Every structure is written in C-alpha cells, then in structure tokens.
Amino acid sequence: MPESFMQGAGLLLLDKPAGITSHDALVVAKKKLNLNRIGHTGTLDPMATGLLLCVVGNATRLARFLDGERKTYSGKIKLGLTTNTDDVTGQELGSSSIIPPFSQILEAISHFIGTTSQIPPVVSAIRIGGKRSHALARAGEQVELSPRKVTVHEFLVDQCGSDVVSFKISCSRGTYIRAIARDLGKLLGCGGCLKSLRRDEIGQYAVSSATQLDTLNDDDIIPLAQAFKAWPVAILPDEIARMLCAGDQTCIHEVTGDINEISSGREYVLYSAKSLAMHFLGILEKAENGWKIAINFGEDHLCHH
C-alpha cells in the first residue's frame, strides 16, 4: 500500500494562554512540532484563554467543517464600565457606580437566549473593503458594522461581586462574547464589558483534553480516524469508494439509502472503503438533491491501492 495521503495530518487541541494572539500560538506549535502547515478553526483574542482547535498538515482543508461547531465559553463581565474594545483592555468610554440588582441581571439575560441580531465589536477581524475592522478603528477611522444573526443556546450567570458577573455561554459560530457583555451593560443602563474569557468547548472537543504550549509534542496530534469518531461514517464498497476518490459523483445514488440511514440528520458524513475501514477518505455533504463530495483525501490513497 502506498504511503497515506493523510499521514501526519490530524487535529491538535491547544490551551492558549493569555497575552498572545492565536496566530502567535500557531507559530510556536509549528516550530516545536516542525510542521509545514497548521491552521485553527476560530480565533481567540489575546486576553482570552482556552481551547484553540488546530488542523495540521492536509487536515487544514477541514477547517470549515469544524468552524461551525457549537462553542462554549466561561468568564466574567464587568458592569459599570464601557470601553472602545468592549473588554477591560480598551480605552474607557464611560463608567457608572449604579449597578442593578442581581434579579434584574437575571431578567436581562433572557433577551440574549435564542437567535438574535448582534453588532460585532469594532475592534474585530471582520474585513471592510479589504481591511480589518480593528486596524481601521485603531487608525481613528469611523467603523460601522452590520448586525449579524447569532444563536445563544445557554446563558448562565452567577454574581461574584457587586459589579462582576461570572457566566457560562454556549453559542453558535460568529458570536462575539465581548458584544454580549457590551449589550448586557447597555440593556441594564450601567454599561458593561468583558473582564475575562475562556473557551471550554468546540463541538465534541474540550479544553480539558488540550495541551499547553510548553509541553507540546508530536504525540499530541490526534489522527483523523480518532478525531472524528463522533461523526457518522459510511463504510462503502471498495469500488464505490474508489469512484468517489476519483471524483466520480454519479455513483452516490447507489449508496444514498445507506448514507441517509447513518447520517442522523448531520450535514456531513465521513466515508471510507470496506478494505480501509479505519482510514478517512473524504467527506460527503448534504446537497439539494442528495449528497455530494465535499472533500476528497483518497486520490493518492485508495485509487492507487
């Protein structure tokens, strides 16, 4: 059998420390593990800590499939303070010593649960005319960002001080926790910003399984066969898998029933061949009229087997 096209590819769970950018964390990991390619599936601000889900080698092509996973955060919101970055690292824009009672805070958070419109922080990585919003804002330019639909599945709070609220939030991709802190303060009439943030989970992956940068080694890369074990997998007849690997989508209708049976409504299904059941060959994606090849890793693995 030829060497696997996916050898050396996999996922890497990093526990990013505070004080460095997500990009800087990748630079350290790339150097320590002598990697050619590494990416991540969602940025953490420099002040934030927690799970940075990284894709290594040819697995960088999988980033978009992981970026949409539900994310869970914990941290603290500072009430009575408004800043230009919507967190405590920014320039103060206003303050208030009048903090609402905790019962009013509990009532206010109900407005954030479900699907709502959120205006991202001006100090964000969103591109405006080819430039990052944060670069424009820091250059003194006026930045106006359009509201975006976000979904908050869970928003739990505990008051741990007169003006500090600890929280746990489970939310959709693209949700800015800094914006939630800002908007909660605005709704309460006292102002608010993010004091601390930690990302605890991305989909099935938890920070409790992540590695610190200073202890990182090659064994921390999770092979794809293990990394996606919670996803539905279609084990296809060798000939069908071989045709898919060659880019021939006309054969998908022959196994559509089997794929639908194991998909459980998931948008994506991994596929492999019966003779290579433990090898990850590609991803099938739900389409308007059934399924289509979303990504193909098997060209150099199965087709020449």
**Weakest mean pLDDT among 133-137, 225-229, 250-254, 287-291:** 133-137
Higher pLDDT, 64 or 137: 64
What pLDDT, on the 0 to 100 scale, is given for residue 51? 97
What pLDDT, on the 0 to 100 scale, is given for residue 136? 61
pLDDT-derived band at 140 (thresholds 50, 70, 90) equals: low
What pLDDT, on the 0 to 100 scale, is given for residue 141? 66
Higher pLDDT, 257 or 206: 206
pTM of the model: 0.86
Q: Residues 80-136: pLDDT tens digits?
A: 999 999 999 999 999 999 999 999 999 999 999 999 999 888 776 667 766 676 666
**Quick one: three-class SS letters along 154-174?**
EEEEEECCCCEEEEEEEECCC
Q: Work out the end-to-end distance of the chain between its first and last CA atoms, rounded to an integer number of angstroms.
A: 6
Cα 283 to Cα 15, 130, 295: the distances in Å are: 28, 31, 5
**Active-site residues: which are they?**
45
What pLDDT, on the 0 to 100 scale, is given for residue 300? 52
Could you give the percent of the chain with pLDDT greater than 70? 88
pLDDT-derived band at 299 (thresholds 50, 70, 90) equals: low
Q: Provide the pairing of β-strand 233-236 with 71-79.
A: unpaired
Is the distance from CB of 302 to CB of 241 less than 8 angstroms? yes
Mean pLDDT within 289-303 = 71
Kindly tell me if the per-residue pLDDT of 245 is higher than 80: yes
Higher pLDDT, 238 or 18: 18
Mean pLDDT within 230-237 = 84
What pLDDT, on the 0 to 100 scale, is given for residue 1? 26
Is the distance from CB of 76 to CB of 196 less than 8 angstroms? yes
Q: Residues 253-280: pLDDT tens digits?
A: 778 777 888 777 777 888 888 888 777 8
Tokens of 11: 């996922």
Q: Residues 34-60: pLDDT tens digits?
A: 998 999 988 899 999 999 999 998 888
